[in-house]
Structure 1
Amino acid sequence: MLDYVVIGGAQAGLSMAYHLKRKGKKFIVIDGGKEIGASWLNRWDSLKLFTPTQYNHLPGLKFNAPKGHYPTKFEVANYFKSYVEELEIPVKLNTLVTSVCKKDVGFQVTHKDGVIEAENVIVATGPFHTPYTPPCHTKISEEIFQMHSNFYKGTHQLENGDALVVGGGDSGYQILNEISKDGSRTVYFSGDTAVKSMPQIFLGKTIWWWFTLTGFLSFNKYSWLGKKINSFKQPVIGTDVKEILSRNNVISVGRTNDALNNEIIFENQKTSAIKNVVWATGYRPNFKWIEGLELDADSYPKNYRGLSNIQGLYFIGLPWMHTRGSATLGGVSKDASYLADRMCAVS
């Protein structure tokens, strides 16, 4: 029986693996992907991190890129691969977990090809699980091409004609920018146009330098300031929202309310001109495969800094697990260090 099994081989799982190895634990990292970094490689081709190199280091190995560089998804995946190779982390790929069950002694982790037994389980599957698409998408004609942003790679996937992007977060605005920037098609936008945007560089320093200086990413969610920050809508970073929305070929249409065949009905108007829809409407967490787990109102595991209601079951990489930076590439390291010390203290 292993001391630990880590479910998830991206930044959260690899950070935990670093600490488990240093503490001499017998463990394995398992991941449902076919290669290290698959969760990043599955995202759109032009994706770049909002954070420059110096804020993207995992424990034990620096991100090998110049200071001030904003890495692509390919560079992140390659960094993870180098991390596994250089630190000699045991990883088993193509291992999709279907259930985790607490036993009299340890846990039984069932996957598509068998079972792994371990005294402890660390769930590092991140915050993005099930792509969410509003129910009205089923009313749209099959003649209109639809996809969730989870499957969007680039404009080459789209049919000729007008497009609609739904969703006013970072992904929605980045995809809206890419689809509309050459001016070749009209792009309707259904999302929050009052969202705040922040530049990557402010007064000669990166916005992350300012975040670090002010402690913006370090206030914990139990503090007064942490609660205030958590209550605000997250700004869009590094994308000029006003410039994108001012383009002649971008039409803001408010909320998407309904659809009927070729006609899509918005808060401000309706149209039958759209030939493509990209739903950048986020994800829903899915932890139903863990038996006996208590979930909060947002369907995330109830926990305190990664310690769940089930003894021996831990979490890492959840949004706002402790601070605003808990689910970020550079921010997960602090949570991993804390959790590793706590786990070893109780085991």
Structure 2
Amino acid sequence: MTVTTVDTLVIGAGQAGLAAAYYLQQRGVAFVVLDERTAVGEVWATRFDALRLFSPAWVSGLPGCSWSGSKLHYPSKDEAAAYLRNYAAHFNFPVHLGRRATILRPADGVGYVVETATGATYQAQHVIVSTGAYTAPKVPAFATDLPPQVQQLHSSLYQQPSQITGPGPVAVVGSGNSALQIAADLAGTGRPVFVAFDEKTGALPNNQLMWVLLKSTGLLQLSRYNALGRRMMHSPEPVVSGDLQRLRHFTNVEFVGRATGATPAGALLARRRATPPLDAVVWATGFRPDYTWIKLPIFDADGVPRHKRGLTEAPGLAFLGLPWLNSRSSALMGGAGPDAEFVVQNL
């Protein structure tokens, strides 16, 4: 078995992994980037058709290479995929595609061994796990109470309304921006849409002035390690007020409040009212961690990595791209650079 040996192995060629690659290259470190996909940016290209970045291009760039075109533009998911693909090509990063990491374990000596689904094996002194925000789809336990005739689809698999069977009522469950965008996408077909949205969720405008204020006041960069940052981190994530208002203007949309259960007849129970029997439910309910492939005791009881600004207690092992890795901007494309620079400097 051939083993590729490098100083640093980056797992994941998304925005966080590519930002790490940039700073590794700047420092002259020998590295390789692994990704399970067949092309850089493919994770964006396969998201739902209506998806756009929540931030304009001028605050969404990776280090060393800005977006082409208007800096005020909110890029589409296909434009985001192209930007990442062009970014990796521009710097000629050593990206090994189609190689899903299946095991990360300590090496017999110093460093780590990473095995992949293709059989290729890597050994590195340092490993940066940049597989993105948590990747295992999460749905509430009561989803199993729905009967088989109700189609259930997690938002990670949703792309367009034609995926949803039948002309009858559909529910979208979730209190984030993706839930609002998917619900509007479905409402555009004219079918009844019930939105199980927690109305305690805050809403903010998403315009150029807001981004100027967030950047100039430093709110985006507030660390989770100070009092105000901790408070922000533990508060519900606000949604885009324009998307919420747009959805409320559809006459075929009804907000039913946060979902609390389901019935064998195919209805959802919610705080304001129950839905009628449904043709389908789209669960825009987020993701949970799944790091079972990492054979190291560096996780808490919920499977979340223990770290300080991405650096773990395991020497030479770090994470990037996690929500609130250091600040609110950590999960945004424009926040990948500062986090990556810190990790590369301190790993």
Compute the TM-score of the two structures, normalised by the length of structure 2.
0.93
- Give the alignment of 1:267-346 within 5 angstroms: 267-296=271-300, 298-343=302-347
- Tell me the residue number matched to 1:110: 115
Is this contact kept in 2: 1:197–1:240, CA < 8 A? no
The question of 1:152 aligning with 2:150 is answered no
Q: How many residue pairs align between the two structures?
A: 339
Q: Distance in 1 between matches of 2:202 and 2:175?
A: 10
Deviation readout 1:209-231 (Å, 9 max, x if unpaired): 11011111111111111112112
SS at match of 2:71: coil
Letter in 2 for 1:195: T
Deviation at residue 57 of structure 1 after TM alignment: 1.0
Question: Which stretch has the larger CA shift, 38-47 or 259-268?
Answer: 259-268
Q: Distance in 2 between matches of 1:174 and 1:263?
A: 22
The one of 236, 248, 267 aligned to 1:245: 248
Letter in 1 for 2:99: T
Distance 1:266 1:229, change over 3 A: closer
Deviation readout 1:153-200 (Å, 9 max, x if unpaired): 011211221111111111111111221245x11111112123222222
Q: Distance in 2 between matches of 1:129 and 1:333?
A: 21
Moved over 4 A (4+): none
- Tell me the residue number matched to 1:177: 184
Is this contact kept in 2: 1:42–1:150, CA < 8 A? no
Letter in 2 for 1:28: V
Q: Distance in 2 between matches of 1:256 and 1:186?
A: 20
SS at match of 2:220: coil
SS at match of 1:47: coil
Q: Distance in 2 between matches of 1:148 and 1:239?
A: 24
- Tell me the residue number matched to 1:32: 36
Q: Distance in 2 between matches of 1:101 and 1:165?
A: 39
SS at match of 1:6: strand
SS at match of 1:118: strand
Q: Distance in 2 between matches of 1:243 and 1:75?
A: 24
Q: Which runs of 5+ in 1 are unaligned?
A: none
Deviation readout 1:18-59 (Å, 9 max, x if unpaired): 111111111110011121112112211110011111111111
> How many percent identity over aligned positions?
34
Letter in 1 for 2:118: D
Q: Distance in 2 between matches of 1:76 and 1:199?
A: 22
The question of 1:221 aligning with 2:224 is answered yes
- Tell me the residue number matched to 2:48: 44
Q: Distance in 1 between matches of 2:142 and 2:306?
A: 31
- Tell me the residue number matched to 2:261: 257
Q: Distance in 1 between matches of 2:180 and 2:38?
A: 29
SS at match of 1:57: coil
- Tell me the residue number matched to 1:91: 95
Letter in 2 for 1:176: A
Deviation readout 1:108-165 (Å, 9 max, x if unpaired): 1011122111111110011131001122222322222210000000112112211111
Is this contact kept in 2: 1:139–1:261, CA < 8 A? no
The one of 19, 24, 27 aligned to 2:23: 19
Q: Distance in 1 between matches of 2:270 and 2:224?
A: 36
Q: Which runs of 5+ in 2 are unaligned?
A: none
SS at match of 1:296: coil
Q: Distance in 2 between matches of 1:339 and 1:279?
A: 34
Q: Distance in 2 between matches of 1:267 and 1:199?
A: 26
The question of 1:163 aligning with 2:170 is answered yes
